[in-house]
C-alpha cells in the first residue's frame, strides 16, 4: 500500500535520516536551491565544503546576482559540471529582476529558470515550500527501480515516465519535506549502488529486487559504449615575473567560461593567433589525462618563456596573472592541477 511505503520510510527517517547537513540549518528556498544544484551528480561529502564557501561569499540572491561570473566560477572550480555554476548565476539574475530576489514559490516559474529541471524544481517545492511534488534524482531512481524491480534502463523515455508516475503515486499527504529527504537519504546511505544494506532497509519485505536475491542488478545499467580518446596541446607561457598567460574558453562547450591555457591540435605554438615572443624550453611538462562523461582527453602541455606585450594584455579573453593568483580564478580541474605543478617546481624563471 502507498501509505505503508511512506509510513515506513518516514519512520526510518525519524531515527536514521540526515538532519544536520549545512543546508538543513535554518533552511531557506535559496539554500535548498543552491544545495540541490550542487548535489546534481555529486556526492554530499564533496558538496559540503563548496556549499559552505559559496554561502559565505554569496549569502543571498542579490549577492549572487550582483557577483562577477568569474567570482562564481572561481568558487565552483573543482566541483565539476560547470554549466551548473553558470546557470546558477543566470538564474539568480532572473530571480532578482523578475521575482524581487526571492526564489519563486511556483513550479512552472522554477522550471523557467536556467539549470532547473523537473526533479530540482520538485525538490525546491517540497523541501522549501512543503508542497506535494515528487522528485526523481539518482538516489530516488535507484530506490524505485529496486523496489519495483524495473527491468529496463531508467533513462529510457517510457521507463522514466513510468517512474515519475510511480513517484507521484507514492507521495504522502503529510510531512512531504521529510518524505522527500527520506527518499534521498535512503538511496545515499542504505540503498547504495554497489553494496546495499538491505537488512537495514525499511522497505525490505516487499522490495522485489531484494526478493530476487540480486538487488545490485537494479537499476538496469545502460549499455556502455567505448569512450573515444581526444588529444590536445596546451601552450604554457611564462614571463620573467612568473606570470602565466590564460585564455578564457567560449561560453559553450566543455569548461565554458573558465580560464585555461591556449591550446591547439599540433605541437607548435599558436604564433599566428597570439603575437608573443617566446622560446620553447627543453624541460617537458607531465602529460595530463582527464575523463569526461562521453570521452577521455589527453593533454600535452608545452612550456615557453615569453614576453607579455600590451596587445595580448588588453585582450579581454587573455590575461597575464601570477601563478599563485591564478588559483583564485574559475579553472577546470586539469588546469588547476598543472598550475599547482608549476607553483611547486623549481624551474620557474
- Helix 118-127 with 29-38: angle, nearest 10 deg: 140
Calculate the alpha carbon distances from 66 to 6, 293, 329, 330 in Å. 42, 32, 17, 17
- What separation in angstroms does the CA of 71 have from each of 189, 201, 250, 257? 34, 43, 17, 11
pLDDT at residue 14 above 60?
A: yes
What digits encode the pLDDT tens for the residues 326-341?
Answer: 998 999 999 999 999 9
* Nearest of 250, 229, 264 to residue 83 by alpha carbon: 250
Tell me the whole-structure pTM to 2 decimals: 0.80
Judge contact between 305 and 242, C-beta under 8 A.
no
Which region among 28-32, 209-213, 271-275 has the lowest average model confidence (pLDDT)?
271-275
pLDDT value of residue 283: 60
Instruction: For CA atoms 203, 207, 213, 219, give the dihedral sign.
Output: negative
**pLDDT(33) > 70:** yes
C-alpha cell at 31: 539554500
pLDDT value at 1 more than 90 = no
Over residues 261-275, the pLDDT tens digits come to 998 876 665 555 666
Has 168 been annotated as catalytic?
Answer: no
Tens of pLDDT along 107-164? 999 999 999 999 999 999 999 999 999 999 999 999 999 999 999 999 999 999 999 9
3-state secondary structure the chain: CHHHHHHHHHHHHHHHCCCCCHHHCCCCHHHHHHHHHHCCCCCHHHHHHHHHHHHHHCCCHHHHHHCCHHHHHHHHCCCCCCHHHHHHHHHHHHHHHHCCCCCCCCHHHHHCCCCCCHHHHHHHHHHCCCCCCCCCCHHHHHHHHHHCCCCCCCCCHHHHHHHHHHHHHCCCCCCHHHHHHHHHHHHHHCCCCCCCCHHHCCCHHHCHHHHHCCHHHCCCCCCCCCCCEEEEEEEEEECCCCEEEEEECCCCCCCCCCEECCEECCCCCCCCCCCCEEEECCCCCCCEEEECCCCEEEEEEEEEEEECCHHHHCCCCEEEEEHHHHCCCCCCHHHHHHHHHHHHCCCCC
Ranges for all domains in the chain classified under CATH 1.10.340.30:
2-133+153-187
Average pLDDT, the chain: 90
pLDDT band at 277 (very low <50, low <70, confident <90, very high): confident
Give the separation between CA 299 and CA 256, rounded to whole angstroms. 17
Residues of the chain with CATH 3.90.79.10: 229-344
Which residues are bridge partners to 248 per DSSP? Answer: 259
Alpha carbon distance 341, 321 (integer Å): 16
> For 66-75, how does the pLDDT look when each residue is reduced to its tens digit (9 = 90+)?
999 999 999 9
What number of residues does the chain have? 349
The residues with which 243 forms a beta bridge, in sequence order, are 322
Q: What is the pLDDT of residue 269?
A: 55
Q: Report the pLDDT averaged over residues 82-102.
A: 97
Which residue among the candidates 7, 36, 160, 282 is catalytic per the annotation? Answer: 36
Which of 79-83, 290-294, 333-337, 344-348 shows the lowest mean pLDDT across its residues? 344-348
CATH class of domain segment(s) 229-344 = alpha beta
CA 9 – CA 203 distance, rounded (Å): 7
297 has pLDDT over 50: yes
Name the fold adopted by 2-133+153-187.
Endonuclease III; domain 1 (1.10.340)
User: Residue 293: its pLDDT value, please?
Assistant: 81
Grid coordinates of 74: 572561481
Distant-in-sequence, close-in-space partners of 180: CB < 8 Å, separation ≥ 6: 122, 123, 126, 127, 134, 135
Cα dist. 269→16, 265, 299 in Å? 57, 10, 14
Would you say 295 and 281 are in contact if contact means Cβ atoms under 8 Å apart? Answer: no
Give percent of the chain above pLDDT 70.
92
Amino acid at each position: 500500500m502507498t501509505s505503508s511505503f511512506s509510513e515506513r520510510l518516514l519512520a526510518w527517517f525519524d531515527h536514521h535520516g540526515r538532519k544536520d547537513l549545512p543546508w538543513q540549518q535554518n533552511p531557506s528556498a535559496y539554500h535548498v536551491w543552491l544545495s540541490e544544484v550542487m548535489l546534481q551528480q555529486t556526492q554530499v561529502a564533496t558538496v559540503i565544503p563548496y556549499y559552505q564557501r559559496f554561502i559565505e561569499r554569496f549569502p543571498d540572491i542579490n549577492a549572487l546576482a550582483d557577483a562577477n561570473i568569474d567570482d562564481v566560477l572561481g568558487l565552483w572550480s573543482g566541483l565539476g559540471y560547470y554549466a551548473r555554476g553558470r546557470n546558477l548565476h543566470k538564474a539568480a539574475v532572473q530571480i532578482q529582476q523578475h521575482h524581487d530576489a526571492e526564489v519563486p514559490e511556483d513550479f512552472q516559474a522554477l522550471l523557467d529558470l536556467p539549470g532547473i529541471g523537473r526533479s530540482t524544481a520538485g525538490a525546491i517545492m517540497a523541501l522549501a515550500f512543503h508542497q506535494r511534488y515528487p522528485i526523481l534524482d539518482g538516489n530516488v531512481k535507484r530506490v524505485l527501480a529496486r523496489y519495483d524491480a524495473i527491468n529496463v534502463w531508467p533513462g529510457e523515455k517510457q521507463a522514466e515516465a513510468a517512474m515519475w508516475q510511480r513517484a507521484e503515486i507514492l507521495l504522502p499527504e503529510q510531512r512531504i519535506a521529510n518524505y522527500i529527504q527520506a527518499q534521498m537519504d535512503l538511496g545515499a546511505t542504505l540503498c547504495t549502488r554497489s553494496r546495499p544494506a538491505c537488512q537495514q532497509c525499511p522497505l525490505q519485505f516487499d522490495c522485489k529486487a531484494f526478493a530476487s536475491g540480486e538487488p545490485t542488478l537494479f537499476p538496469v545499467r545502460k549499455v556502455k559504449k567505448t569512450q573515444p580518446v581526444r588529444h590536445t596541446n596546451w601552450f604554457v607561457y611564462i614571463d620573467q615575473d612568473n606570470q602565466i598567460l590564460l585564455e578564457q574558453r567560449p561560453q559553450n562547450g566543455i569548461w565554458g567560461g573558465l580560464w585555461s591555457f591556449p591550446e591547439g591540435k599540433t605541437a607548435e605554438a599558436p604564433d599566428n593567433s597570439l603575437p608573443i615572443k617566446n622560446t620553447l624550453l627543453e624541460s617537458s611538462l607531465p602529460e595530463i589525462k582527464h575523463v569526461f562523461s562521453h570521452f577521455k582527453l589527453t593533454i600535452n602541455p608545452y612550456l615557453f618563456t615569453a614576453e607579455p606585450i600590451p596587445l595580448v594584455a588588453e585582450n579581454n579573453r587573455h590575461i597575464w596573472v601570477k601563478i599563485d593568483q591564478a588559483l583564485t580564478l574559475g579553472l577546470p580541474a586539469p588546469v588547476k592541477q598543472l598550475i599547482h605543478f608549476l607553483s611547486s617546481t623549481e624551474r620557474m624563471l
